[in-house]
A and B are shown apart, each in its own frame.
Chain A
Amino acid sequence: MRILELKGVNKSFGGLKAVEDFNLSIEEGGILGLIGPNGAGKSTIFNCIAGVYPPTAGEIYFKGENITHQRPWDLCRKGLARTFQIVKPFSSRTVLYNVTVGAFATTGKRAEAERRALKVLRLLHMQDVKDVRASTLTIAYLKRLEIARALATQPKLLLLDEVMAGLRPTEVDEMVKIIKELRESGVTIFVIEHIMRAIMALSDRIAVLHFGKKITEGTPKEVASDERVIKAYLGEEYGTA
């Protein structure tokens, strides 16, 4: 079943076309990677899907329902969660409090919300820092906190926006392992990432975005050997070499 489908999505900011005629579909239970140079429009696509702003044109379907003009909080309750590239923790509060906010999306009771939050923290190996104030966490933990909060909402589809940027190689490996575990638990994952090693290891399929347009899509192997992708990343002169 297709859990997410984007049909002809366009997004302009004034005269700037950030995303042009973007089509994509994700099968339930898979991991899809989205790569592209800086400013290609990756986060813009995430923001359109998550309801931060509607696309200028085109339609977005989630579990078969047209969600093009729905607001973020409604989408979250329907099972679409996301993380932010620039982490946004509730700094003055503890890790557990942060995750409990997410858990409240599907329950009204505090005891139940906290129980779920603790479960998610255990899953992400964060139970040791549960009483630590979020403002004092390292970037690796902050990125993981982003995932923990999103997971606590019990999503069907999780949008991960560069959760590995700024991590040390050992931390990247750990994160890859965590994301694979998440998929095993039945969450479909749509991930933006710059670290090629990680995204190649993770994704079933990869879509490549360049100047707001999708230039190719395929398995990690196909994409890595695609001439257009190499050009987009390394410049024109490398393509002919």
Chain B
Amino acid sequence: MGRNTIRIGPLVLAGVIALGLPLAVRSATYLHILVLLYLYAYLTTSWNLVGGFAGVLPLGHSAFVGIGAYTSTVLSLQYGISPWIGMMIGGILAAIVGVIIGLPTFKMRGAYFALATIAFAEGIRVMVENIDNLGPIRLNGPRGLQIPPLNTGLLNFMFATKEPYYYIILFMLAGVLFLTYAISRSKLGHYLVAGGEEPEAAMALGVNVARAKLIAMAMSSFLTAFAGTFWAQFTLYIHPKSVMSLDISFEIAFIALIGGRGSIAGPVLGALLLRPVTDLSRIYFGGKLPGLHLIIFGVVLVLVMIYQPRGLQEPLTRAYRSVTKKLFGHTEAA
């Protein structure tokens, strides 16, 4: 057993399980829950580029989800453009908005930055809620847009069953995880960490902190918008409350903080842990105790912040390393 086997083995195993899961899970409900789990793991991993590595706490990523969802939906409904192309355009649009939001707000620190991003996201949501027609573009205000399920097929990003969606979001998640891994080892990754932890020292070492953060913000919002398009094509109905609600931003932050900000495994771990809580509490207590999952999140977050302030990823990584060390007598560098 070599070093690489220990490192890559579990990844391959997880990949095989993920690929084969739809063969075992025949229930549409559970497949739906899994799709949402991956979607949130994807969203949080995208968020992590800014919120984790750059060390700030953006709480307005719902805006980018909304921009992605609305861009691709409007383009496909009104102009007959494939959602795949709409997804790219939505991503570019979101990246531009991300940079515009980032330019004035990255100068702020801590809670002020978080509040400013909330304000931007809420501002965009309220605008969309109050606009029926923006020039030639029909947004339909609070009623939202419905995508008629007429032309299914890969080209139209529309399917009658849940399995294709499952595989699409799985590949999106794998892609964004690989991207995060590559960035964390690159110059940009080092610069983001340095600028997030000690901006003054980073600047003295040749890091243009503001520029690194803006690049991260552009990439993060670009990728987040993809999730919006996916969400629109998955549910075939979007409205401001469903794709632009602050709840999305908060849930991303919960998942990241509990799983472990700034690590690669953290967002996936957080989603694995928290998404089932959300969905199961909605299924079993939805009628009697709506919002129960948020209370549970709060309690879990408080506990994690007290006992493992760097997220659950850290003790689990340590435990995993000591197990492999005992089994194979290898130590791994951090």
Q: Does the CB pair B200–A88 fall under 8 Å?
A: yes
| Per-residue B-contact encoding for A55-92, CB less than 8 Å = 1, 0 else | 00000000000000001110011000110100011111
Chain A positions within 8 Å of B186 at CB level: 110
- How far does the alpha carbon of A102 sit from the alpha carbon of B191 in the complex, in Å? 9
Given A84-B201, A102-B206, A150-B204: A113 touches B193 (CB 8 Å cut-off): no
Chain A positions within 8 Å of B209 at CB level: 73
Given A90-B198, A131-B333: A84 touches B187 (CB 8 Å cut-off): no
- How far does the alpha carbon of A89 sit from the alpha carbon of B206 in the complex, in Å? 15
Q: Does the CB pair A77–B187 fall under 8 Å?
A: no
- How far does the alpha carbon of A84 sit from the alpha carbon of B204 in the complex, in Å? 9
Band of interface residues on A: 20 to 34
Q: Does the CB pair B187–A88 fall under 8 Å?
A: no
Chain B positions within 8 Å of A108 at CB level: 187
The contact of A73 among B197, B198, B206, B334, by CB within 8 Å, is B206
Q: Does the CB pair A76–B205 fall under 8 Å?
A: yes
| Per-residue A-contact encoding for B308-326, CB less than 8 Å = 1, 0 else | 0010000000000000000
The contact of A101 among B185, B205, B208, B310, by CB within 8 Å, is B205
- How far does the alpha carbon of A73 sit from the alpha carbon of B210 in the complex, in Å? 11
Please report the total number of B residues contacting A with Cβ < 8 Å.
Answer: 23
The contact of B204 among A50, A89, A133, by CB within 8 Å, is A50
Given A94-B334, A110-B187: A105 touches B205 (CB 8 Å cut-off): yes
- How far does the alpha carbon of A102 sit from the alpha carbon of B197 in the complex, in Å? 14
The smallest C-beta distance from A121 to any residue of chain B, in angstroms, reads 14
Does A149 belong to the interface (CB within 8 Å)? Answer: yes
CB-nearest residue of chain B relative to A78?
A: B206
Chain B positions within 8 Å of A106 at CB level: 206
CB-nearest residue of chain A relative to B211?
A: A73
Chain B positions within 8 Å of A97 at CB level: 190, 193
CB-nearest residue of chain A relative to B208?
A: A73
Q: Does the CB pair A104–B191 fall under 8 Å?
A: yes
Chain B positions within 8 Å of A94 at CB level: 334
- How far does the alpha carbon of A224 sit from the alpha carbon of B186 in the complex, in Å? 50
Contact residues of A: prevailing secondary structure: mixed
Chain B positions within 8 Å of A113 at CB level: 187, 190
CB-nearest residue of chain A relative to B212?
A: A73
Does B207 belong to the interface (CB within 8 Å)? Answer: yes
Q: Does the CB pair B206–A77 fall under 8 Å?
A: yes
- How far does the alpha carbon of A93 sit from the alpha carbon of B262 in the complex, in Å? 12
8 Å CB interface, B178-201 against A: 185-187, 190-191, 193-194, 197-198, 200-201
Does A153 belong to the interface (CB within 8 Å)? Answer: yes
- How far does the alpha carbon of A227 sit from the alpha carbon of B203 in the complex, in Å? 40
- How far does the alpha carbon of A11 sit from the alpha carbon of B201 in the complex, in Å? 22
The smallest C-beta distance from B187 to any residue of chain A, in angstroms, reads 5
Residues on B facing A (Cβ under 8 Å): 185-187, 190-191, 193-194, 197-198, 200-209, 262, 310, 333-334
Beyond contacts A84-B204, A90-B194, A101-B194: 12 other A-B pairs, Cβ-Cβ < 8 A, are A73-B203, A73-B206, A76-B205, A81-B204, A81-B205, A90-B202, A101-B190, A101-B193, A101-B207, A104-B190, A108-B187, A110-B186
20 A-B residue pairings within 8 Å (CB atoms): A73-B205, A76-B203, A81-B204, A90-B198, A90-B202, A92-B193, A92-B197, A93-B193, A94-B334, A97-B190, A101-B190, A101-B191, A101-B194, A104-B190, A105-B207, A110-B185, A110-B187, A149-B205, A150-B204, A153-B206
